[in-house]
Structure 1
Amino acid sequence: LTFARVMKKRSTEDFSCVPYVLALLNCCLYTWYGLPVVSRGWENFPVVTINGLGIVLEFSFVVVYFSFANGAKKKVAAALAVAVIVVSCSVAVISTFAFRDHRRRKMFVGSVGLFASVAMYGSPLVAVKRVIKTKSVEFMPFYLSFFSFLASSLWMAYGLLSRDLFLASPNLVGSPLGVVQLVVYCLYKWRK
């Protein structure tokens, strides 16, 4: 809905690209994490497929954002997108050539992915601060908060059930952050 609004108004208004760019980074890293180069065989096939779809969606969001952003926001979006490419490619190259076994590759890629996930789940907190300051939820999309919470909760469950701390750990942070966003949204949605 956020991007339908952006396309309809032909402006990014005061929406931030940061959550979407960080989600793109997260999806790139975890797609790589799930591939047989890093994980053993296809043990993390759901991680690859879901995050692969996430790459397509988040990339689309970033392209739409970039298309309708003004000059300064366009530069920020471009710089962040380049950083995503550099980090993702660096992690892929380092994990492939610097580590000889799956365990170490998984530890390296999982550690970088863990930090990216925590950053992704924490990025909407800037919007939470703005909501509290302005007492308006206009630029804190409900669906971003809701699906962030839902996805984080599901990945946490998957990580715990599969005993994969690199999947569970960041989501132990992401789920409560999603709850905070939803509570703030509900508190300020109905205020005049």
Structure 2
Amino acid sequence: MEALLLFIGVVGNVISVLVFASPIKTFWKIVRNGSTEDFESAPYVVTLLSSSLWVYYGITKPDGFLVATVNGVGIILEAIYVTLFLIYATPSLRAKTAILVALLDVGIFGVVVLVTRLVAIDETTRVMVIGAICACLNVFMYGSPLVAMIPNGIGFFLGTIQLVLYMIYMNTKVSKCSGEVVEGQWQHQRLIKPDGPSGHDEEEG
């Protein structure tokens, strides 16, 4: 049974390393073009925090060697990604990334370590608390790329409203214009019809 668990753990570690390595193509493109273009740094900053907490969890938990090692690789790769972002990003995006790193990877990680170490709790509870924090952070980590979709979602919503308003008021405008044309034609009609050819014939007679 232990051999099976070890095998599953190793396979899981290999898959996790492949997940951590998946953005390599993206960052190769960033280095080649010398620009981060439209890429966001938030997913990599959050993943760096997640890997750091999982390493802390693996160190704290008995027999957590596999968890600590695979996330140690994750820390190295994510740190490289964030560093490349800081090098090739625009000044505004570089400042934003630096603030995120300071708040999340330094601030939150430091707070979690201090609280779980200074609060008088037993080892089992400490491991459970750290694991719960890591699990919640993983949810945010996998959802963080959706941040880039928020501006597009807002634009789609506002564009839809504009189209609906246009369709509503377009018909009203057309009806109003048609009414003005009919009214203008009525105002320009002649009140007295000119005499026809029969009238001229009678005068000549």
Q: Per the alignment, in what secondary structure is the counterpart of residue 53 of structure 2?
A: helix
Distance (Å, rounded) in 2 between the aligned partners of 1:124 and 1:18: 8
Listed as ranges, the gaps of 5+ residues in structure 1 are 135-192
**Deviation of the 1:108 alpha carbon:** 1.9
Q: 2:80 aligns with which of 51, 60, 75?
A: 60
Check the 8 A contact 1:99/1:105 in 2, yes or no. Answer: no
**For 1:124, what is the secondary structure of its paired residue?**
helix
Q: 1:11 aligns with which of 19, 35, 39?
A: 35
What amino acid is the match of 1:33? Y
Q: Does 1:79 align with 2:102?
A: no
Return the TM-score normalized by structure 2.
0.59
Where does 1:1-192 land on structure 2 (aligned, <5 Å)?
1-35=25-59, 38-39=60-61, 41=62, 43-83=63-103, 84-127=105-148
Contact 1:6 1:68 in 2 (8 A): yes
CA RMSD of aligned residues (A): 2.1
Unpaired runs of at least 5, structure 2: 1-24, 156-205
Q: Distance in 2 between matches of 1:44 and 1:131?
A: 41
Question: What is the rounded CA distance, in whole Å, between the counterparts of 2:120 and 2:58 in structure 1?
Answer: 16
**What secondary structure, in the 3-state scheme, does the structure 2 residue paired with 1:123 have?**
helix
Question: Partners in 2 of 1:118 and 1:70 — Cα distance?
Answer: 29
Paired letter, 2:106: I
Count of residue correspondences:
131
1:38-92 deviation per Cα after TM superposition (whole angstroms, max 9, x unaligned): 31x3x21111000011001000100000101111101110011111111111111
CA distance in 2, matches of 1:15, 1:94: 34
Contact 1:66 1:77 in 2 (8 A): yes
SS in 2 for 1:100: coil
1:6-31 deviation line (CA, Å, top 9, x unaligned) = 11111111100011001001000110
Taking structure 1 as reference, are residues 126 and 100 closer, same or farther at Cα in structure 2, changes over 3 Å only?
closer
Question: How many Å separate the matches in 1 of 2:94 and 2:65?
Answer: 35
What residue number does 2:182 align with? none
The offset of 1:129, in angstroms, is: 5.9
- Using the size of structure 1 for normalisation, the TM-score is 0.63
- Contact kept in structure 2, 1:7 and 1:68, CA below 8 Å: yes
What are the superposed Cα offsets for residues 152-175 of structure 1, whole Å, 9 maximum, x if unpaired?
xxxxxxxxxxxxxxxxxxxxxxxx
